[in-house]
Amino acid sequence: MAFDTDILIAGAGPAGLAAACALGAEGHRVTLVDPAPPVTGEDAPGADLRTTALLQPARALLDRAGAWDGLAAHATELWTMRIVDAAGPDPVARDFDALDISDAPFGWNLPNWLLRRELLARAEALETVTLRFDRSVASLLLREAEARVTLSDGARIAARLVLACDGKASPLRDMAGIGARSVDYGQTAIVFAVAHAAPHDNVSIEVHRAGGPFTLVPLPDRDGAHRSAVVWMDEAGAQIRRMDLDDDAFLGEAEARAAGALVPLRLVSRRAAWPIVSRLADRFTARRFVLAAEAAHAMPPIGAQGLNTSLADIALLRNLCAEGEIGSRAMLDSYQRRRWTEVAARMAGIDLLNRTSIAGGAPMQAARGWGIGLIHDIAPVRTLLMRLGLGRAA
């Protein structure tokens, strides 16, 4: 049977672009489609101002795909994760040091718009990758022997495998008849960048009070100023009010919420807001069809698990494509078995952490501070949890 492409990928976000790079670099013919080209400029309308800490396994994936060299010069190393519970009169703070488990940083922080820019450049350089922007998947026919896709411009493509990386509301997931369970936490994350006089020293700081964490993640210095990206999670109504504040009033509330971390702060970007929703697909596969990234799973931005979990999907798919027939039942069964349970367990852990962070009652806040100290101060527990956070079992 003649196939037009080995793998058709829907969605040109960071995960879809990474998949195109990773699979194309292995010699597979890849076709990537998206209704719009990626936004790749910091000041462009619609630019994604969030940042992502790419953890060690994600770097390994992108390095093998030939994409890391373009990213490395823009990345900020994360050597220490500082967790602070500032709810009580005596804040509890503990540092988790990457040197406890390896000789490399936990991760490398990058703006999402820049991730798109560099991954797009790598995909464009691969002869095995065909990019079709301004087109969407209009219909999907999944057969045992092939997947047939019709695009919005009428083009028809026969593929060995369709990979859906088209987001939380994934149209392809619906076309494949796969349901998903969602949790709305009633939270919103406000993201923005700040400058500060004190250096961040490659330390990511996560400050907990009621409502959700306030996280400062290191960015490269710019114009002689030290900078960090901020992700501020809190109750949605309070965040709507904050988004309406002028910059000075907003920054005053942000400094109060930072509990002294790196203050005083200076706002150096616009603000953007994102609802916090968790979503898990009922299954990750159908005939000749795979879900990955947020089409398969979405979770609160805690512990840098979101995109890193997505890239773990891509790494497994790359390996499975090398081991057997692309899109075969055996390949799909292996992906379902190995990813769904692991992702579901990881999401349950993130759900627990988020609900604990939201909690405002004094007993829960006291337990949270005690738990941070306990996890850190028992060395085997500390190192095990750090390894699990990186996606490694031991």
The pLDDT of residue 394 is 40
CB neighbour list of residue 343: distance below 8 Å, 6 or more residues apart: 280, 284, 296, 297, 309
Strands 180-196 and 225-235: antiparallel
Q: Which domain holds residue 248?
A: 185-201+208-214+222-276
> Is residue 45 domain-shared with residue 156, that is, in the same domain?
yes
Total number of domains constituting the chain: 2
What pLDDT score was predicted for residue 385? 55
Looking at the structure, tell me whether residues 306 and 323 fall in a common domain: yes
Same domain, yes or no: 22 and 164: yes
- Give me the pLDDT at residue 378, please: 46
Q: Considering the domain boundaries, does residue 159 fall inside one? A: yes
230 and 353 together in one domain? no
Arithmetic mean of pLDDT over the chain: 89
What is residue 353's predicted lDDT score, i.e. its pLDDT? Answer: 79
Q: Is residue 226 domain-shared with residue 172, that is, in the same domain?
A: no
Q: Which residues of the chain have pLDDT under 70?
A: 1, 88-89, 359-394
- Please indicate, yes or no, whether residues 22 and 145 belong to a single structural domain of this protein: yes
Q: For residue range 41-56, list pLDDT tens digits in order.
A: 888 888 888 899 999 8
DSSP count for the chain of H helices, then E strands? 11, 20
| Residue-level pLDDT at 392 | 54
Domain boundary among 276, 297, 312: 276
Q: What is the 3-state secondary structure (H, E, C) of 126-186?
A: CCCEEEEECCCEEEEEECCCCEEEEECCCCEEEEEEEEECCCCCCHHHHHCCCCEEEEEEE
